[in-house]
Amino acid sequence: MNAVFEIVLNPLFAFSVLRVSTPILFAALGALISDKAGVINIALEGIMLISALAGVIFSAISGSAFFGLFMALFFGGLVAFGLGYVSLKLKTDVILAGIAINLIASGGTVFVLFLLTGDKGISSSLASKLLPKIDIPILKSIPILGPILSGHNILTYFAFISVFLVWFLLYRTPLGLRIRAVGENEHAVDSVGISVVKTRFIALIISGVMAGFGGAYMTMGYISWFSRDMTAGRGFIALAAESMGGATPLGSMLSSLLFGFFDALSNSLQLLKIPYEFVSMLPYVATVVGLVIYTTQKTKRMHRMRIKAESKKEVL
């Protein structure tokens, strides 16, 4: 047990929690926006994968990491647009369309990688670029906090800033109002002359761009190349995180961090005497447990309210 504390209390551990959480947080925010608009975006996994590859390819071609990022976002938005097209226009079930896109992404990225490099495994023969890491001047020199918070990839900071941006978008802008309205009652939106399809398209594209950030981070920050199926379920975990976070920006952030915590822990815990399979299972179990706890709390709260209201009369 002591050893676990030792690991967890090391500032480097906290640092790695933030790093591991970043792609999940991006995708969870993406999941949040589309969920608010009433569309389940199960394609996040595939979108991340495609963006990850796009980032590598275009940063290698152009020699600019930021152009790579831009293209990753572009492809994220584009694929989300495709998802929107088939689900909103062609009326394909959105879950199925999501699965299909994941399938296409998984095979398609390897296919494209193969066409470009002759490799099916990894893109290391492309000289792709990395997004910069940022040292925060004053913060950096504060003990404990400095090593935890300073020196992250620029996208890690942006991920946490995005939590605020997404909150702002959803709750403070006209677009956010429309997105929330369309998710709750599309007829209401329709009846005031806002296009339901257009609003959902916009939400999906933003969602895709968020996943695009996650993908770009995977290949241009987290590690420095693309490898097949490298998102390894992070898109699904993001869906779980959003759900666990009660479909709020802050909640999504906290549950992404929770997952990140257990993931980072699972990376370190191996050094203790626990079979690695158990340790690897930890983040997923934690997610399910988190999901259950969240939903139990919700039902309990409602139940308590009910009982209180029913007994009020008796007291009077």
* For other proteins, the closer CB: 12 or 139: 12
- Write out the binding residues for other proteins, residues 141-180 only, by CB under 8 A: 172-174, 176-178, 180
> Does 253 help bind other proteins (rule: CB under 8 A)?
no
Nearest distance in Å: CB 51, other proteins: 14
> Does 97 help bind other proteins (rule: CB under 8 A)?
yes
Q: Are 210 and 260 in contact (CB under 8 A)?
A: no
* For other proteins, the closer CB: 160 or 217: 217
The amino acid at residue 312 is: K
Figure out which of the listed residues 4, 63, 120, 141 binds other proteins, where binding follows CB under 8 A. Answer: 120
Beta strands in the chain (DSSP E): 133-134, 152-153
Count Cα atoms within 13 angstroms, Cβ side, for 14: 13
Figure out which of the listed residues 9, 142, 250, 281 binds other proteins, where binding follows CB under 8 A. Answer: 281
Tokens of 214: 């996650």
Stretch that binds other proteins, among 8-16, 73-81, 155-163, 208-216 (CB under 8 A): 8-16
Per rule CB under 8 A, count of chain residues that contact other proteins:
111
* For other proteins, the closer CB: 113 or 138: 113
> In a 10 Å sphere around its CB, with 0-12 CB exposed, 13-18 middle and 19+ buried, how is residue 130 labelled?
middle
- Write out the binding residues for other proteins, residues 175-214 only, by CB under 8 A: 176-178, 180-181, 184-185, 187-195
Q: What is the DSSP letter of 227?
A: B
Nearest distance in Å: CB 277, other proteins: 4
* CA distances for 99 relative to 64, 106, 143, 200, angstroms: 32, 11, 46, 19
Nearest distance in Å: CB 145, other proteins: 17
d(CA 310, CA 146): 52
Nearest distance in Å: CB 290, other proteins: 10
Stretch that binds other proteins, among 70-78, 208-216, 250-258, 261-269 (CB under 8 A): 261-269
Nearest distance in Å: CB 139, other proteins: 19
Taking each helix axis from N to C end, the angle separating 11-36 and 44-62, rounded to the nearest 10 degrees, works out to 110
- Write out the binding residues for other proteins, residues 17-76 only, by CB under 8 A: 20, 40, 42
- Give the residue from 280, 255, 15, 18 showing the smallest Cα distance to 7: 15
The DSSP bridge pattern shows strands 152-153 and 133-134 to be: antiparallel
> Does 275 help bind other proteins (rule: CB under 8 A)?
yes
Figure out which of the listed residues 67, 81, 116, 119 binds other proteins, where binding follows CB under 8 A. Answer: 119
| Dihedral of the alpha carbons of 248, 260, 66, 160, in degrees to the nearest 10 | 40
Tokens of 112: 């494209």
